[in-house]
């Protein structure tokens, strides 16, 4: 009885994940990211739109960088033209969503490049960045991807080791 009580109390104290996404939404979005790498010849990325669910943010939709800025992937690496943000904000208003994170793929590891660190997609404290390794061909789930929280003033907190405790697919 005391063991059951300990488990219940422990589950009440457990912090919920900060990001959540339906597994099918994630699979479909990651599949499209992979397709947009053009057979692993360039990076691709997306804004992850969703809503707040108490202490968590729920990802509901991928909006791909090159759908908002057609030239975002032209150089082989992601470069989003900031003058295109009004199109994204209008899409968010129409859907009733906000940008909860961003995701992009790397050709190698899921570590942040110096460019990633110096140029957050949304330079606002609390924004999350997700990096998928190997052009999203192999590891695409928490535990095998990079997850980072922007703290502001050029500082980042690496959340990668937290895996599904930070980002849960359900």
CA gap 35, 60 in Å, rounded: 20
pTM over cut 0.85: yes
Tell me, what CATH number does 125's domain have? 3.40.140.10
158 within a domain of the structure (yes/no) = yes
4 within a domain of the structure (yes/no) = no
Among 2-6, 62-66, 111-115, where is mean pLDDT lowest? 2-6
| pLDDT at position 70 | 97
Cα dihedral 98, 146, 113, 106 sign: negative
84 within a domain of the structure (yes/no) = yes
Domain span at 156: 16-169
Query: Is residue 84 pLDDT above 60, yes or no?
Result: yes
Q: Count CA atoms closer than 13 A to 21's CA, side-chain side.
A: 25
Q: Count CA atoms closer than 13 A to 96's CA, side-chain side.
A: 1
120 within a domain of the structure (yes/no) = yes
CA gap 114, 119 in Å, rounded: 8
Number of folded domains that form the chain: 1
11 within a domain of the structure (yes/no) = no
Q: What is the pLDDT of residues 56-82, one digit of tens each?
A: 999 999 999 999 999 999 999 999 999
6 within a domain of the structure (yes/no) = no
| pLDDT at position 55 | 94
Tokens of 114: 């110096």
102 within a domain of the structure (yes/no) = yes
112 within a domain of the structure (yes/no) = yes
Q: How many residues does the chain have?
A: 170
Q: What is the pLDDT of residues 10-41, one digit of tens each?
A: 444 578 999 999 999 999 999 999 999 999 99
SS3 91: helix
Cα dihedral 158, 162, 163, 166 sign: negative
């Amino acid at each position: 009885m005391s063991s059951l009580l300990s488990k219940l109390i422990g589950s009440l104290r457990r912090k919920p994940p900060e990001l959540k996404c339906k597994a099918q939404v994630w699979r479909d979005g990651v599949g499209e990211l992979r397709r947009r790498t053009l057979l692993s010849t360039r990076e691709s990325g997306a804004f992850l739109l969703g809503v707040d669910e108490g202490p968590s943010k729920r990802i509901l939709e991928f909006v791909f960088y090159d759908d908002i800025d057609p030239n975002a992937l032209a150089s082989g690496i992601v470069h989003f033209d900031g003058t295109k943000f009004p199109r994204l904000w209008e899409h968010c208003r129409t859907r009733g969503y906000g940008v909860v994170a961003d995701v992009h793929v790397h050709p190698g590891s899921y570590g942040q490049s110096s460019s990633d660190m110096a140029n957050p997609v949304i330079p606002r404290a609390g924004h999350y960045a997700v990096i998928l390794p190997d052009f999203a061909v192999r590891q695409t789930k928490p535990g095998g991807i990079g997850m980072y929280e922007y703290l502001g003033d050029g500082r980042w907190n690496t959340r990668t080791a937290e895996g599904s405790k930070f980002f849960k697919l359900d």
